[in-house]
Amino acid sequence: MWVNADHIVSIQQLEQTDGHRRTLIAEIKLLGLPLERIPLGEFTEQVQIDERWSAFIDAGHVPRSVV
């Protein structure tokens, strides 16, 4: 999905855990639309989460000032 960066209200990184694995979730609020949560994968290491989050933000060309 393509999104005009001017319509991004907020993007937040969330994590859920079951004690062993952590699920990375992107919480996105766009102007005029309800809040949406998008799962980005399950990971065991923080470095994996950091790399996936960076790849998600960079792939969408999201300005770092919005994140």
Please give the pLDDT value at position 3. Answer: 73
Kindly list the domain boundaries of the chain, sorted by start residue.
Answer: 18-59
Indicate the pTM of the whole model: 0.78
CA dist 53 and 51 (Å) reads 6
pLDDT band at 61 (very low <50, low <70, confident <90, very high): low
List pLDDT tens digits, range 4-40: 778 889 999 999 998 889 999 999 999 999 999 999 9
Among candidate residues 38, 45, 34, the one with its CA nearest the CA of residue 9: 34
Tell me which amino acid residue 29 is: K
Q: Which residues contact 3 (CB under 8 A, 6 or more apart)?
A: 30, 60
Structure tokens at 18: 């079951």
User: Residue with structure tokens 């933000």?
Assistant: 57
